[in-house]
Structure formats: C-alpha cells, structure tokens
Structure 1
Amino acid sequence: MKNFLLTLLAVGALCSAVAQTTPEETQPEGYRFTDTKVLRMTPVKDQHRSGTCWCFSTLSFLEGEILRAGGAPVHLSEMWIVRHTFMEKAEKYVRMHGELNFAEGGAAHDVTESIKKYGIVPFEVYPGLNYGTDRPDFHELTAVFKAYLDTIISVGDRSGKPLSTAWRRGFSALLDAYFGEMPETFTYEGKEYTPASYAASLPIDMEDYIDLTSFTHHPFYTQFILEVPDNWMWGTVYNLPLDEMMAVIDHALAENHPIAWGTDVSEKGFSRSLALGIVPEADLDSMSGTEAERWGKLTEREKEAALYTFDKPGKERVITQEMRQTAFDNYETTDDHGMVIVGTAHDQAGNAYYKVLNSWDVRPPYAGYYYFSRPFVAYKTTDIMVNKKALPKEIAKKLGLK
C-alpha cells in the first residue's frame, strides 16, 4: 500500500510539473501564415558565401517571368552574369582610379544589361565554380581581383605612364581561372546555341524590365541614379510616390508577375530564424492605464526588447513618405539584400504580408521562403524591378511608358 501511495504521489508530481511548464496559455503564440496567392517559381537557390544576391534574385525573377510567359523551367547561370559584371566593374574601377565600389554587390539592372550585351546560358552550361567547391564561395576570389586592380592603379598613378595593354588580358585570365572559360557555343536539350541566340530564344524581352523606387530627394515621375554603393553601373530608376510604388507591387502580383526586390535586412524587425520581417510599434491605445504607465517607465532599450520578441502579431508602424526618406538619408535603409516578391499572405490576426523567395538555400521554417509585412516592404524597399507591362495604366502614363 505504501508503494502504491508513493507511486500515486510521483505520478501526481510529474503531472503537476508538466502542467506548470507546458500550459497552452504560456507558450508563445508565434506567427501563423495563410498564403492567399503564390506565383509559380523555379526552385530556391543558394548564393552561399557570395555577395551576389542581386544576381540570384534577379535571375530567379526572370525565371518566374519565363514561366509566366509559358516557357519551360530553366536555371539560368548566375556566374555567367557575375563573371561579365566583374569585368565591366574592373574597367570602371580602373578608369575611376579606384574611386568606385569594387565589391561583390550589384543591382537588378546589372543582370538585364548583361544579358542584353552578352546573352545568357543555362546553369548546366556554365556553373562558374572553377575553384574546388560545389557552391559559390567568394572569400578568396574577390580579394584577389581587387588586389590585382589596385596594383594596376597604383603603378599607373606612381609612374605617370600609360597603363599596359596587358592588364585587361591579365584580369580576364583571373576571371577564367576562378569561373571557367566561357563557351562561344553550346548544346542544350539537343539544340546548338550561342549565348546571344539562347537569350533570344527565351519568351521574355530584357527591354521590358524597369527599376522603380520612391524617394523625395528627386522629383516624382522622373528617372535618377539611385545613390547607393552597389549601383556601380550608375543605373537609373523611376521615382514614384510611396502609395504608387506599393500599387505597382500589388498590381504586378495580381497580373501574375513576380517583383525583384531590393531591401534592407539589417533591421531589428527582421528575423532570419523565423523568416520574418516586421516594423512593430507599441499599441498604446489598447493598453490599460496601468499598462500604459508601466510602458512609459521603461527605458528605450527595454521598450525595444519588448517590441522585438516576435512572440505574436501586433501593431505595426504606419509608414509615410517622410519616414522612408529619413531612414535612407540617415543610412538606416541601405542596399542590403535582393529577393523576389512572389505572393501574398496574412497572419492569424489578419495582417497583410508578402511572400518572398530568398537565395539562402532551402531552410526552415518555410523551405527558403520568407514573409515580410506590408509596412516592412513600404519602409525598407530601396528599389524594385518589374515588367513594365505589369504597371497600372495610369502610373505607366505618368512615367511616359507604353
């Protein structure tokens, strides 16, 4: 009997411990998303240890456009673009005596302009991994490239003599060593192509793609060179009011067009592990007097910690044109990362989100996809690339586009 009672006490204690540690009401609610529209896209890619999100995202965007146009799924070669871009960037870097951002970053228009000039090839034809790894790893090659160019510039500046006719060949040889020699012709799915003829065979036209943004330091409905370090090409963007930029995103998705998205993921409201981006704000209106008083006594650090718990959906900031501009002017919004907006969703509280395709491999919790709130996209978009045919007619007219 004594043993039986001891057993009952032990079971009771265990149940009590479980009840105390795992009651449903004490568990973080978290974020639960319901997709409302998701475009058909090619598989998630992995840029790995390379700062080439601009290329991975834009090619994934173009692959989505190919699918929309009725083309077959294809994986276009990222390193074909990167290799050509490094050569063009080197030319300008030397011409500017090193006063240019020579790095791995870039912009969406780097991809479309490169395809116009040099064509494109499938990944299988040009993987561009000629340095012993099966995924991109730029820890060595970028340092080597820049050191070579800096030497050319330094010698030229010191000597005052013309640069040799060999430096371009030497740099091209370095590119070939790391990325591999570029084919002039290739056979793909039983047909022979050149890079130009393969690009021409795709059911999309690079002339259809334009860049848009929304800032007040340039007039709306004009084009300007976006002043960010990775815009080494000095490419131009069309400038729209914030509400119209957001309208372009919504209209493009409604017409089944993806959007190449330049943004900033250095924000406290972005969580890599949760694959989530938000712009939270304290909901003082819903607080009781005691809660509001307690909130007012918190330090800024304590308030920030409370806002960024990511425990459940809450109130988010209302984004204005002025907020966007201030964040950009103060370096709070930078050209940090490129992804692809491919759909819409809402959380369990009914808040609106965009579903986004990333290039950080297939990883949990959403198999390489991410969710960004509408305020996050409104606040932290540096630029977008869209098919100009996806613009609302009234906005296209304001921009002088047909």
Structure 2
Amino acid sequence: MNKTLLLLLSLFFSLNTFSQKYDFQTIKEITCTEVVDQQKTGTCWSFSTTSFLEAEIIRTTGKSVDLSEMYNVRNIYIDKADNYVMRQGKTQFGEGGLNHDVINSARKYGIVLQSDFSGKINPNDPYDHSKMAVELEEILKKTVAETPAKYPTWKTDYIAVLDKYMGKSATEKPIDTKTFLTDYKINLNDYVTITSFTHEPIYSKFILNIPDNFSNGFFYNLPLDEFIQNIDYALEKGFTLAIDSDVSETTFSGPKGIAVIPEKAEDAKAILDEIKPEKEITSDYRQTEFENYNTMDDHLMHIIGKAKDQKGNVYYKVKNSWGTQSGKNGFVYMSVSYLKLKAISVLLHKDGLMPKTKKALDL
C-alpha cells in the first residue's frame, strides 16, 4: 500500500472520528399516542400534558385514548379571564400555560375525548387562535378600564368569542373526575412538578415566578443532579414526563429534531448535524441563565424515552406538538446538557420519583 493511499485512508478515518452524523439507538422508549400538531396556537402546554395523560392511561390500563387538548384550553381561558379581571389587569394574559394547568382543568372541569370536542367550528380547518386571542384580550382590557360594574356582560361577551372560534363547551358530555379515576386509574393528586433552582431552598415547595404561572402552581426544588437522576429513574420505571423548556437557543432545532449545548460557541451551527463536545452544566450557570432571561418557559413537550448516539452520548426522546413533519417524525432528541440547562421543570407521577427524593419531599 503506497504512502498516498495510507494518507487518504488516515484522513478518511480521522474525519469520520471527529465529524460523525447523528445515529440514534433507543435505550428506553415508553408507549405514547401519536404525534399531533398544535398548529397556529400557543397551546403547547395542553398538547404536551394531554399527551402525558394519554401515556399515563396507557400505563395504568393498557388502553389508548385520544383526549381533547382544546377542551382544557377553552376552560383555562375562562380561568385566565377571571384571574386577569380580579388582578385588575396586573398580570399576563395570552395563549400560554403550564403543565399543572391541564391537571387543574381536569380536576375542576373533567375531561372529554377528542371526538366529543375538537375545538374547531369546521373540523377541516387548522387550529388558529391568533384572532381569538386578540378579541379575548380586548374584552378583558375593556372590563378592567370600565370596571366589571360598568361592563356587567363582559363574561358573556368573552364566552361568546370562545364559542365563535372553538365551539360551545362540551360540558354536556364530560368525563367527570370520578369516572376519570375509576375507569382510567388516574389520581390527579398524584402528579407533581419538580425543578432545580438555587434561589429557593432545596427540597422546598415554592411558587416559581415565571410569566405563564398565572395559576400560582407549586414546584418542588431539587439539586440539579438529583433533578436529572429523577428523570432517568422515572423513565427506567416506565413513567413518562411532561417538560417545560426553553427552545429559543439556536441549537434547539425543531426541523432537525436536535437540542444540544455546544462546548464551543463556534460549533453552534455544525453541532446540529455532527456530534460535537457539549458544555458541562453547573447549578450556578443554570441559575445565571435563568435570571438573565436567557432561559425562559417558552415551550412544553413530552419526554417518552432515552437514546444514545454512536459515541455513547445520551439524549432524551421528546415528543413535540409541531406535527410529524417536524424533527425526527415529530420527536426531538435532547441532550443531557440541554435539559440540565434549559428545562424549567418536569411534571410526573410521584411514584416516578426516587425513594430518597419522595422521602425528602414528604410525598
């Protein structure tokens, strides 16, 4: 073999060693329902948590059901309106929400199947809440400006807008809480949200002050390593998790289905296609990014498994709600570094927590 050929072979293997395309192999995958599309709405919180509840029903009963995402959305819009008016407009109003809002909605209003309430006037139309959200907010701003006493029909007008865009409420056919518990073996009080921040005491239960937490939901605070360990433990035991995460990073690619944190800034583009070293994430760095608004609660998804690339790097398989045309057939592979830095929180069944964590949290 001549020197030129040896040099070419050496270069070939060198390039393949340091610039490998992603090739994912499943470590753990838990059965979930099909990927759906939230389309032109800011309702990922309902799509992710509804998918999570559907996976819980599969886990507890073996049955696959298609729950209505928009039933939760419609009901939470009413709760948001009451909150906005009672706070005299001194709060955020919009399409966003958090995982616990779906749990609250199910507890308060029950749930319905997708076949009972689609949230559309025309079944063939895509979801699009852009005009509806504007009209709803206009009513609320008018209510606050004039006071409810001078605008006594504000809620009737508000609900009329919901009816116009989403259809009338499906309350005549809800699955009430009792039926939900008995038929699907789901106890809504069994779900907890865990997180990791340094501005609150470890193992404390606190209200996280983020814009979409209009309902003042509680979060359990863990050390960062224990936060990750509990996610891994839950998946290993067959529990999925609903995740609230920042996706504003250029290294979160919905189209490519990759979410990573490069060690070097200059690798930000290449790392979406090729395996590159990732940054080590500390609690202090995570906290700084959160306090600087570089980590925000802008998208919610559903963790259903784990995978590894050909170098052994581990990723979480995350079900998105941007349709199957997005990412890897609708899924995103999120690295451990990305989740450690950018995951605001996860919602899970308390039995998916490690025993020592459950004890520390008194659950």
* TM surpasses 0.5: yes
1:124-143 to structure 2, matched below 5 A, reads 124-130=115-121, 134-143=125-134
Q: 1:174 aligned to 2:161? A: yes
Of structures 1 and 2, the larger Rg is shown by: 1
> C-alpha distance in 1, partners of 2:47/2:234?
20
Deviation at 1:376, TM superposition (A): 0.6
**Residue identity (%):** 38
Q: Provide the residue aligned with 1:308 in structure 2.
A: 269
SS of the aligned residue for 2:61 comes to coil
> C-alpha distance in 2, partners of 1:133/1:226?
39
TM-score (norm 2): 0.91
1:172-321 to structure 2, matched below 5 A, reads 172-186=159-173, 194-196=175-177, 198-200=179-181, 201-282=183-264, 304-310=265-271, 311-321=273-283
Whether the 8 Å CA contact 1:131–1:179 is kept in 2: the answer is no
Whether the 8 Å CA contact 2:99–2:347 is kept in 1: the answer is yes
Whether the 8 Å CA contact 2:250–2:268 is kept in 1: the answer is no
Q: Provide the residue aligned with 2:144 in structure 1.
A: 153
Whether the 8 Å CA contact 2:22–2:275 is kept in 1: the answer is yes
Alpha-carbon deviations, 1:271-308, whole Å to 9, x = none? Answer: 222110111114xxxxxxxxxxxxxxxxxxxxx34443
Q: Provide the residue aligned with 1:17 in structure 2.
A: none
Whether the 8 Å CA contact 1:36–1:343 is kept in 2: the answer is yes
Cα 1:347–1:236, aligned 2, differ >3 Å: closer, same or farther? same
> C-alpha distance in 2, partners of 1:377/1:268?
15
In the alignment, structure 1 segments of 5+ residues that lack a partner are 1-22, 187-192, 283-303
Residue identity opposite 2:259 in structure 1: G
Cα 1:139–1:164, aligned 2, differ >3 Å: closer, same or farther? closer
> C-alpha distance in 1, partners of 2:140/2:327?
42
Q: 1:64 aligned to 2:26? A: no
Q: Provide the residue aligned with 1:386 in structure 2.
A: 348
Q: 1:96 aligned to 2:87? A: yes
> C-alpha distance in 1, partners of 2:332/2:171?
38
Q: Provide the residue aligned with 2:284 in structure 1.
A: 322
Deviation at 1:154, TM superposition (A): 1.2
> C-alpha distance in 1, partners of 2:158/2:207?
28
Alpha-carbon deviations, 1:111-132, whole Å to 9, x = none? Answer: 0011001000001100011267
> C-alpha distance in 2, partners of 1:209/1:330?
30
Residue identity opposite 2:317 in structure 1: K
Alpha-carbon deviations, 1:38-82, whole Å to 9, x = none? Answer: 110000010000000010000101101110112411111111100
> C-alpha distance in 1, partners of 2:209/2:282?
21
SS of the aligned residue for 1:69 comes to helix
Whether the 8 Å CA contact 2:246–2:344 is kept in 1: the answer is yes
Aligned length: 348
SS of the aligned residue for 2:307 comes to strand
In the alignment, structure 2 segments of 5+ residues that lack a partner are 1-11
Moved more, 171-180 or 315-324: 171-180
Residue identity opposite 1:203 in structure 2: K
Q: 1:369 aligned to 2:360? A: no
Deviation at 1:26, TM superposition (A): 7.6
Whether the 8 Å CA contact 2:203–2:361 is kept in 1: the answer is yes
Moved more, 70-79 or 233-242: 70-79
Residue identity opposite 2:154 in structure 1: W
Whether the 8 Å CA contact 1:264–1:380 is kept in 2: the answer is yes
Residue identity opposite 1:55 in structure 2: S
1:339-354 to structure 2, matched below 5 A, reads 339-354=301-316
